[in-house]
Amino acid sequence: MRLDHRVILGLIRAHASVLDLGCGGGELLYLLIKEKNVRGQGIEIDEQEIYKCVAKGLNVFHGDIDSGLSEYKDKSFDYIILNQSLQQVNHLENVLKDALRAGKKVIVGFPNFAYYKGRLQIFFQGKTPVTGSLPYQWYETPNLHFLSISDFISYCRLKKIKIEQSFYLNERRKIILFPNLFAQAGIFLISGEKNQPEKI
């Protein structure tokens, strides 16, 4: 099991209602239904990925999460997940704001652009970094926003978004010290309540 999936699995309570935005082939959604018996559905834009979801028996709709969640009432879901998808949307602020409206809690996971291996590639090679968490060349990347863990924490503080829990990961383990430097990815459990100061 992927480490980020294991962390997210631990954040979600059994029998909860879950919407996975940009759910890909449905691996996480399938895991949540199997292990936590959640009432889950997903939204995905890639038709080939939707076929994979259908093969798993998942309830997934074809749609662009940039179009918003206007069809869902406030707090329609216990959790809305944006794992490895937030950095790929055009209108990040609108998507995040809508997720916080439609979900009681939002789980956000993204690659950390400030990971030290990426910094070294920029410094010594002068090239856009390619790492385990950022595996694409600059000309083929689906990522539109290159944010760091510190960027996201600062953003939440600015927008008065409450960070309830945070986890910093590399491929094999959680990172405790200097996560903005040593973590390949961050996972945050957030809500629309006023944020408490957090230091890293």
- The CA distance from 174 to 7, in Å, is 9
Q: For the residues 129-134, what does the mean pLDDT come to?
A: 73
**CATH number of the domain where residue 169 is located:** 3.40.50.150
Can you read off the two tokens belonging to residue 190?
Answer: 């957030």
Q: Is residue 130 part of a domain?
A: no
- The CA distance from 102 to 71, in Å, is 9
145-200 residue pLDDT tens: 778 999 999 999 999 999 999 999 988 899 999 999 999 999 999 998 654 445 55
Can you read off the two tokens belonging to residue 33?
Answer: 């239904």
Can you read off the two tokens belonging to residue 146?
Answer: 């290159």
Q: Is residue 109 part of a domain?
A: yes
Q: What is the pLDDT of residue 194?
A: 58
Q: Is residue 141 part of a domain?
A: no
Strand stretches in the chain, DSSP E? 17-21, 39-44, 60-62, 77-83, 103-111, 162-169, 185-191
Q: Which residue segment(s) compose the domain that 85 sits in? A: 3-113+146-191
31 vs 146 pLDDT, higher one: 31
Q: Is residue 75 part of a domain?
A: yes
Q: How confident is the model at residue 108 (pLDDT cuts 50, 70, 90)?
A: very high
Q: Is residue 99 part of a domain?
A: yes
106: pLDDT strictly greater than 70: yes
Q: Is residue 122 part of a domain?
A: no
- The CA distance from 157 to 161, in Å, is 6
Angle value at C-alpha 65, between 60 and 69, nearest 5 degrees: 90
Q: How confident is the model at residue 63 (pLDDT cuts 50, 70, 90)?
A: very high
Q: Is residue 124 part of a domain?
A: no
Burial bucket for residue 111 (CB in 10 Å: 0-12, 13-18, 19+): buried
47 vs 145 pLDDT, higher one: 47
Q: Is residue 21 part of a domain?
A: yes
Q: What is the pTM of this model?
A: 0.89
Number of domains composing the chain: 1
